[in-house]
Amino acid sequence: MKRFRKKRWFALVLLVVLLVLFYSSDWLGKIMYPIQFRDGIEASSKKHKVDPLLVAAIIRVESNYRTDPRSKKGAIGIMQIMPDTAEWLFEREGFRSFSLADLDDPYINIEVGTKYLNLLSIQFKDNLTQVIAAYNAGPGNVNKWLKNGTWDGTFENVAQIPFWETRGYVQRVWYYYKKYMNIYADSA
């Protein structure tokens, strides 16, 4: 019986030591929070002046890097772009050669979604919390909330956002964005 207790105690101590050693380890973090399509994310982010880790966090929340999702509301692809938004971007932003069917390609989806994030960043003066909320609820809703005082546009007051889905979305994107910043900031 004593031998069993010693083995159990040793295993517990070993587990604690391993957890302490590897808790903040980059390689362990990269296993737990991988970024797929990194080359496409980095290229599109550089081109459109958007933080690649923000793009990765949005992809993580929108589709968890699955390339085939279609939402119940009709959003398409890895960044879950709404068809109306995509068609507006196709016309306005020089993506005339693309069609909605092209959004199934993760690299095209990332390119279009990243351009949209760039436009939202310009519109909301680089306030990431507002940009993230607008990506989910639409810029019209966010502008309305800001204008009528429903929400002050800060993360600290995200509970003021009237759409529960958007509140949770903003919190989840920030969670993954911070995780990615801690793990990948040196290599991004």
Place of tokens 């306030």: 127
**Type and span of the H or E element at 84:** helix 83-92
Q: Compute the distance between CA of residue 133 and CA of residue 170 in angstroms, rounded to an integer.
A: 6
**Is 62 known to be catalytic?**
yes
The dihedral sign for the CA sequence 6, 8, 11, 15: negative
User: Residue 177, Cβ neighbours under 10 Å: how many?
Assistant: 21
φ, ψ of residue 48 to 5 degrees: the values are -105, 10
For the chain, the straight-line distance linking the first and the last C-alpha, in angstroms and rounded, comes to 52
Q: Which residue among 42, 62, 91, 156 is the active-site one?
A: 62
The residues annotated with a catalytic role in the active site are: 62
